[in-house]
Amino acid sequence: MALPIKFCERMKKLLGDEYNDFEQSLLKPRAHGLRINEKRCDINNFPAKNVFTLTPVPWCKTGFYYPSDERAGKHPYYEAGLYYIQEPSAMAVGTLADIQKGEWVLDLCAAPGGKSTHLAPNADLIVCNEIHPTRVKILSQNIERAGIENSIVTNETPNKLASKLPEMFDCVVVDAPCSGEGMFRKDETAIIEWTEQTPQFCADRQDEILADAAKMVRKGGRLVYSTCTFAPEENEGILTRFLNSHSDFEIVKTDIFPMFESGKPEWYENAHPSVKYSFRLFPHKIEGEGHFCALLRRKGNQERNTPKMSDTLKKLPDTLSDFIKDIKGFDKDMKFIQVGDRIWCTKHPLDLTGLKVLRNGLELGTLKKGRFEPAHAFAMAWKPEYMPRKINLSNDDAIKYLKGETLNVEADNGWTVVCIDNFALGWGKISNNTLKNHFPKGLRWK
């Protein structure tokens, strides 16, 4: 599909002699990438390295390119959450955020979940928000598959979150909804939906989102801003307007990405001079799509605000107590929340009254007529070795399991974590050597 004429005219003016190389790069096949889920494993014990042809992504230590004909999304390792399929340029954001152990993190525009799953392993708590009601469900599924137990998933406006969670986070990431020019090679819909007015329309919205995001960063905390567009008004322009109205923030100069171009203050009239410390990713310069990112710091130094906590269960229901009595890994810091007939487990039971919440920690399961039925999320987040019963399937049987088939096995009766190579795929219930399949019906392979 042809690129929009007005887009080409603008980029030709901005890039000058580089434009032909830029245009030609958009006609080439895109790069495919996956990122190891450090909640599950690292490169040393990553079994998929023996399945796919992997080449390192230079700006992400857990990121790899793989050939387009190798279907990484159709392997049991993907359903076990060992990796996330992510556009390589987008991996730069998690690297730039550089989450440290014990930090509280907010991913404000989080769907489909690539950046959240990158940010989560070191975080003590991660709040993943998505305003779109359909996209937030996809986000929630990806958080579940990755086994992120220290997460809250919300479906809210940035403004409402800011009023509820002021100065609560060590790092806030804003991967802002944008005109998507960097995705033209990957997604023809982005070309179809683009007009000459799209960048300014998006910029107006980005101004509001970034202003709300700033309210949730503690003094001394970090704010990461990113887009997947080339438009200066959505990149250098946004940062200029933000810095001019938020004197308590500054762009951090870092040499973490020597392979990227610097921000272009000359592309935006009266740009703030420090926008040169942001990063631009061009498809004719790197193996990846168009992207922009910047790291900002809020001046000062202050501990994050202490949130109000919600009521927790003083005594667990008997059916839950019976179910988990032989399961290891529950420590004294864990709290239990009951919402309707569903039980959640978290170290940080935040009072989220008034917010639309899909996940408040780790869902353990549901109370049903005198019995407890474990949630898929529980199997995905808990270490299989902590479970009293687990079963490892061959690759062929794992595929049958993912399709929802019943399997014949030799194992003890009861709820069992179904695994491949000791990585959880979900639950099964064994009775008389028959494994009843409890892989969620909505996730089953066709």
pLDDT tens by residue, the chain, 446 residues: 799 999 999 999 999 999 999 999 999 999 999 999 999 999 999 999 999 999 999 999 999 999 999 999 999 999 999 999 999 999 999 999 999 999 999 999 999 999 999 999 999 999 999 999 999 999 999 999 999 999 999 999 999 999 999 999 999 999 999 999 999 999 999 999 999 999 999 999 999 999 999 999 999 999 999 999 999 999 999 999 999 999 999 999 999 999 999 999 999 999 999 999 999 999 999 999 999 999 999 999 999 999 999 999 999 999 999 999 999 999 888 999 999 999 999 999 999 999 999 999 999 999 998 899 999 999 999 999 999 999 999 999 999 999 999 999 999 999 999 999 999 999 999 999 999 999 999 999 99
For residues 438 and 380, the answer to whether their CB atoms sit within 8 Å is no
90 found inside a domain: no
| Residue 425 domain flag | yes
- 41 a known binding residue? no
The verdict on 365 and 400 lying in the same domain is no
Q: Final residue of a domain: which of 373, 396, 412?
A: 373
**76 within domain boundaries:** no
Q: Are residues 119 and 221 in the same domain?
A: yes
Burial class (CB in 10 A: 0-12, 13-18, 19+), 244: exposed
Give CA–CA dist 264/21, Å, rounded.
18
Report yes or no on 279 lying in a domain.
yes
Are 273 and 362 in the same domain?
no
Same domain, 256 and 119: yes
One domain for residues 187 and 325: no
CATH of the domain at 445: 2.30.130.60
- Co-location of 268 and 319 in the same domain: no
Residue range of the domain that includes 173: 98-298
Among residues 272, 298, 324, the one where a domain terminates is 298
Q: Are residues 253 and 326 in the same domain?
A: no
Asked if residue 15 is part of any domain, the answer here is no
Domain shared by 354 and 271, yes or no: no
In-domain check, residue 402: yes
Q: Which two tokens stand for residue 62?
A: 């857990």
Q: Is 186 annotated as a binding residue?
A: no
User: Do residues 107 and 256 both lie within one domain?
Assistant: yes
Residues 391 and 359 in one domain: no
Q: What is the pLDDT of residue 1?
A: 73
Q: Is residue 35 part of a domain?
A: no
Determine whether the annotation assigns residue 231 to a binding site.
no
CA distances from 325 to 318, 322, 386 (A): 10, 5, 11
What CATH number should be reported for the domain holding residue 141? Answer: 3.40.50.150
Which residue numbers are catalytic? 228
Q: How far is CA 209 from CA 140, 174, 391, 393, in A?
A: 21, 8, 46, 46
- Same domain membership, residue 365 and residue 263: no
Question: Is residue 291 assigned to a domain?
Answer: yes
Is 109 within any annotated ligand binding site? yes
What is the predicted pLDDT for the residue at 6?
A: 98
pLDDT at res. 332: 87
Is 115 labelled a binding residue?
Answer: yes
pTM: 0.97
Which of the listed residues 263, 298, 333 is the one where a domain comes to its end? 298
Helical ranges in 84-128 per DSSP H:
91-97, 114-119
Domain count, the chain: 3
180 in Cβ contact with 90 (< 8 Å): no
Token digits for 402?
């993912």
388 and 326 together in one domain: no
